[in-house]
Amino acid sequence: MKPLLTVSKAQAELQASTKARRLAMGLTQAGLATRAGVSLPTLRKFEQKGQISLESFLKLLMVLDRLEALVNALEPSEQIFSSIDDVLNSDKKPKPKRGWRT
């Protein structure tokens, strides 16, 4: 069974991977903050507590060359069909059930 991913665990993972990427690129906190157009206290707060606005986070990812990977990860996966019947039936939606009692 796959463990449940909570918001706090996701924050911690994003925080850790972003910091690791910054260090791998040889950037200081001040250097990354300047390049991304984010204040240094904002970056520090993110690396310590995982708290940041979406706009600032996306700016950091852009500088760290990870923005495109994030956007691509959100794309829906392609549906694979095994027969023509699967293709024809994929567009059919079940009729909604309606209640008959009041």
Q: Which stretches of 1-102 are DSSP H helices?
A: 7-24, 29-36, 40-49, 54-63, 67-73, 84-90
pLDDT (tens place) for every residue of the chain, 102 residues total: 667 889 999 999 999 999 999 999 999 999 999 999 999 999 999 999 999 999 999 999 999 999 999 998 888 776 677 788 877 777 666 566 676 666
Type of residue numbered 39: S
pTM attached to this predicted model: 0.71
Domains and their CATH numbers in the chain: 7-90 (1.10.260.40)
CB-based contacts of 24, cutoff 8 Å, min separation 6? none
The Cα-based distances of 46 to 15, 59, 71 in angstroms read 7, 13, 20
Map residue 82 onto helix, strand or coil. coil
CA separation for the pair 15, 11 (Å, rounded): 6
